[in-house]
């Protein structure tokens, strides 16, 4: 349910509440023949204020599951300058999560609270209209994490002198992580309402992951429907994984904001305006590589 109220030309208030029900077999726990049955309730409140050529946004989001609670506060501002040809954007996001584990069943949960995780995100961006056909932008994002960063539902398999030949263990992740990503992007207007775009993105973190991403694209309108788009794109990625001894599993938190950096995910100055959760127990769609066993 979404409610938005505009009080004047300067103020607007938005409230959002939804319930997400999840059921079915989980890839994370498939080897243990477990079944997921969960419900997530999310409440958010956002305030927008416009003064002259500056826009401010302040939002708060609370997301609750039986084994995960997240509280996220976000603030951002954008300023148009030089005849509205230049836009500067800044943002800050603070997330405080409580992490638990269900040791019971889907119908009869027994939740044990394991610890807390904190995340702070700092974003900055600059866009510039260069010509009537060309626009360019640059963005920078830095995220610091600390606390319980591992996933209690994901196990690792290692060789052991037991009848099966292997044993299962929990993830072993460091308690801190700092990630940073910088991206440059340009888009050029082509005839027939088409556009060509190119971007380069570099990612690094304190876990030893380095990634380079180059994207080329050229979407164009459909000849039969002005609202449809057709086109082609090329993406080249190179990633150097960490040699540290952690786990082959990828992190995917239940109520982690969408501003979490992945090595290949494009970032924009306004990306943190609507922090949203990603499901921890379901398979992650992120292409982010994670540290591997050596």
Name the percent of the chain lying above pLDDT 90.
Answer: 43
Rounded to 10 degrees, the C-alpha dihedral 204/205/208/214 comes to -20
Any domain includes 11: no
Q: Give the mean pLDDT of the chain.
A: 76
Q: What is the mean pLDDT of residues 116-124?
A: 95
Q: What is the mean pLDDT of residues 235-259?
A: 43
| Structure-model confidence comparison of residues 272 and 218, the more confident one | 218
Pick from 67, 154, 69: which is nearest to 106 by CA? 67
Any domain includes 19: no
Domain of 203 in residue numbering reads as 82-273
Q: What local confidence, expressed as pLDDT, does residue 278 receive?
A: 39
pLDDT at 275 over 50: no
pLDDT at 121 over 90: yes
Any domain includes 145: yes
Distance CA 130, CA 116 (A): 46
Any domain includes 225: yes
Any domain includes 165: yes
DSSP 192-245: TTEEEEEEEEEEEETTS-EEEEEEEEEEEE-SS-TT-EEEEEEEEEEEE---SS
Q: What local confidence, expressed as pLDDT, does residue 193 receive?
A: 76
Name the percent of the chain lying above pLDDT 70.
Answer: 68
pLDDT band at 287 (very low <50, low <70, confident <90, very high): very low
Distance CA 276, CA 2 (A): 14
Tens-digit pLDDT profile for residues 81-110: 998 899 999 999 999 999 998 887 777 888
Distance CA 212, CA 202 (A): 5
pLDDT at 274 over 70: no
Any domain includes 202: yes
Q: Which residue has the tokens 């995100």?
A: 121
Q: What local confidence, expressed as pLDDT, does residue 37 receive?
A: 72
Q: How many domains does the chain have?
A: 1
Any domain includes 29: no
Any domain includes 152: yes
Tens-digit pLDDT profile for residues 177-234: 999 999 999 999 988 778 899 999 999 999 999 999 999 887 666 555 444 455 566 6
Q: What is the mean pLDDT of residues 169-176?
A: 86
Tens-digit pLDDT profile for residues 127-158: 999 999 999 999 999 999 999 998 888 888 88
């Amino acid at each position: 349910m979404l409610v938005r109220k505009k009080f004047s030309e300067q103020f607007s208030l938005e409230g959002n509440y939804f319930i997400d029900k999840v059921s079915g077999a989980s890839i994370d726990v498939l080897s243990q023949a477990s079944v997921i049955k969960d419900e997530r309730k999310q409440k958010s409140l956002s305030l927008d204020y416009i003064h002259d050529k500056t826009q401010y946004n302040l939002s708060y989001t609370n997301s609750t599951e039986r084994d995960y609670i997240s509280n996220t506060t976000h603030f951002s501002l954008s300023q148009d300058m030089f005849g509205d040809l230049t836009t500067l954007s800044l943002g800050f996001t603070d997330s405080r999560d409580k992490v638990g584990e269900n040791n019971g069943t889907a119908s009869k949960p027994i939740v044990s609270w394991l610890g807390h995780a904190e995340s702070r995100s700092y974003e900055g961006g600059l866009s510039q209209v260069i010509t009537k056909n060309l626009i360019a932008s640059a963005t920078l994002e830095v995220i610091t994490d600390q606390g319980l960063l591992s996933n209690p539902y994901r196990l690792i398999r290692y060789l052991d002198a037991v009848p099966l030949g292997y044993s299962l263990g929990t993830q072993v992740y460091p308690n801190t992580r700092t990630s940073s990503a910088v991206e440059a992007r340009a888009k050029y207007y082509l005839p027939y309402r088409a556009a060509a775009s190119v971007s380069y993105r570099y990612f690094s973190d304190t876990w030893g992951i380095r990634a380079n991403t180059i994207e080329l694209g050229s979407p164009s309108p459909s000849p039969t429907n002005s609202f449809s788009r057709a086109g082609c794109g090329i993406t080249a990625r190179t990633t150097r994984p960490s040699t540290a001894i952690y786990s082959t599993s990828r992190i995917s938190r239940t109520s982690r904001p969408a501003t979490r950096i992945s090595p290949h995910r494009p970032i924009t100055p306004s990306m943190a305006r609507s922090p949203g959760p990603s499901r921890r127990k379901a398979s992650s769609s992120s292409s982010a590589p994670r540290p591997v066993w050596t």
